Each structure stands twice: as C-alpha cells, then as structure tokens.
Amino acid sequence: MSRFPEQMDPRARRQVALWLLLCCSMIFAMVILGGVTRLTGSGLSMVEWDPIFGVVPPLDQAAWEEVFAKYRQSPEYLKVNVGMDLHGFKSIYWFEYSHRLLGRTIGTVFLLPLLYFLWRRRLSARLAARLGFAFVLGGLQGLLGWYMVKSGLVDNPHVSQYRLTAHLSLALVIYAYLLWLLYDLVFADRGDPPANATPGLKKAAMLLLALVATTIVSGGFVAGLKAGHAYNTFPKMGDHWLPPAGWILQPGWRNLFENIATVQFDHRVLATLTFTSVLLFWLWCWRQRPAPAVRTTTHLLMLMVGVQVALGISTLLQHVPVALASLHQTGALLVLTLTLLLNHRLRNTQE
C-alpha cells in the first residue's frame, strides 16, 4: 500500500491550496519587509545570529544595553552611526528583528502543516517531494541571509551586493516555486477544454518571464550599491544618455555589477525592454484573441507593468523615499506573479 495517494481529493486540494496561499503571502511580505529593512539602514543592527533563542528580543533595560554594546563594536556604528543613542538603535533594531522573526514564522507555518498533511496522507507523492524540496530551499535561504549580513560586519560596513542579490534571488525562486504549485492546485481538473493559442505564444511568455526575473535581479544590484541615489533624472542620466563613468573599472565585466552608474543604467534598459516586450505581447494577444483567461491575465500584466514603470521613475526622481521604493518592490513581485500566471494559463493550451 502506497504511503501517498495517487491523486488528491478535492477537500485536500483546497486545504493545501489555502495553506500555500498563506505561505506565498507571507513570503511576499517577507521580501517587502526585507526591502524596508535595507532602505532604513537596519540590516546590520543585529550582529549575532541565533536561530533558536534569537526569537526573543531584549525585554528589559539591561538586555537592551547588552545588545547595544555589541552593536557599538560593529563597523557600522564606528564608521557610520557613531554617536547613535539607544533610542536610535531601537528604531533600526526592530526592523531587522521583525524581518528575522517573520522568516522563522514562515518556516514554522510551512513545516507544521506539511507534517500534518504528510501524516494524514493528504498529499500526492509528487507534491510531497516538491514541498520537501521547498523546505530545504527555505533552510538554505536562512543561511544565505546570515551569510549576506556577515559581509557587512567586517571592516567595511556594507553588505555585498552579490550576496544581497543572491538572497533576493533565492527568495524569488522559493516564492515562484510555491506559487506555481498553488496554481497547479487551484486550476487542476477544471474540466475546460484546451484553448487554442497562437504558435509561439508559450515561448514568448517564457521569454517574458526570464526578462522579468532578470530585471528584478538587476534591481538587487541597484539596491545593494544604493545606485538609485545617483543620477536622479529621467530619461537622461544627468546631462547624458549614457553614464560617462560607465566603464571605468577593469576588467570591464565588473562595471555590470560594481559600478553604480552602469548598474543603474542596466536596470533602466532592462525595465524599458520589459515594458516594451509586455506591450508587444499584449498587442499580439489583442489581435490573435487566445483563451479568455489568457487575455485577462495579459491585460492585468500590461496594466501592472505600466504602473511599475511609473513607480520606478517616481522613486528615482524623488531620490528613493522609503514608501515609494517599497511600492516599487511590491510592483515587481506583482509583475512576477502575473507573468507566472500567464505562463501557467498557457501551459495547457493547444498550438
């Protein structure tokens, strides 16, 4: 007798779908909170990593003084925040603490229901294996987060843009992976006949997904280098269309990841290319009229990409205020969500 059923019954599918929806929503919030933590300069306020007892914050004055004393020995305090008092420290500490606490909460919210569903045999063997893999990815994400923070606890109080982007990228992979499993559950066995799709539409949607992901990842380098604070003009970068200091580093490839001017320029180009590609895809769908679900998703994607471009330009022109920058990051996740949905809806269409 198999430990897992070959197919999930409708009740189990609904329960698992609701659970995955909760997990995806929490990961969504986690990414946004991580962005706010970075924007407020709070990411290096906790200089230790304690996966077990770190869930408990300082509870009295003595505990706060102890934590603050450790922070005063860190490079960030000595080189950036020298003279900060305890009140100011608390204001940055709570952002980083909340970010770590939410990460632990996500792990608990994912693991306990997973064990319950496994015990009650509510999962198919294939889904159980995929969810187990997702849990491993979550554990690696926690380790990668601390690896990122450690890069800013050395002589230079600056988190490596490479590690920050890797941390963001893995969060997006986990989010997209679970969201795809959620789409599988929500749209399974709907009984609708396959709808026709223009040849090449699926491939174009996959290319859109790759372009959206690349653009978001490039935003990680912008965030890591604080490149949004340079060249706060649009469409030109200052008085130039091309950044005059764009290729000063040697070897040349370093400019793509370490030169503030080039990193911002790359993100501009990728964002423009993404908007143009989605617009062309939308026009293509408008003329070819594929399945209604595909058309609706394409309309929503076109609308969201337009909003996202406006948010990006506004964030740049306003010198990266926390609220606008957070909305811009939220928009990026919504664009990714809709692009994944578009690809999922096209998966079962006939060409």
The predicted pLDDT at position 192 comes to 46
What are the pLDDT digits (tens) for 249-304?
Answer: 999 999 999 999 999 999 999 999 999 999 999 999 888 878 888 999 999 999 99
46-55, 153-162, 201-210: least confident range: 46-55
What are the pLDDT digits (tens) for 300-329?
Answer: 999 999 999 999 999 999 999 999 999 999
The predicted pLDDT at position 189 comes to 58
Quick one: average pLDDT of 57-68? 94
What are the pLDDT digits (tens) for 173-184?
Answer: 999 999 999 999
The predicted pLDDT at position 51 comes to 79
Six-digit token pair at 257?
A: 């990841």
Quick one: average pLDDT of 79-93? 93
Whether the Cβ atoms of residue 160 and residue 224 lie closer than 8 Å to each other: yes
What are the residue ranges of helices labelled H in the chain? 10-39, 61-71, 75-79, 86-119, 125-150, 161-186, 201-225, 255-258, 260-288, 292-317, 322-347
What are the pLDDT digits (tens) for 189-204?
Answer: 554 444 555 668 889 9
Q: CA triplet 323, 325, 326: central angle to 5 degrees?
A: 65
d(CA 232, CA 253) in angstroms, rounded, equals: 24
The predicted pLDDT at position 188 comes to 75
d(CA 96, CA 42) in angstroms, rounded, equals: 6
Does residue 351 surpass a pLDDT of 60? no
What are the pLDDT digits (tens) for 104-131?
Answer: 999 999 999 999 999 999 999 999 999 9
What are the pLDDT digits (tens) for 14-45?
Answer: 999 999 999 999 999 999 999 999 999 999 99
What are the pLDDT digits (tens) for 210-219?
Answer: 999 999 999 9
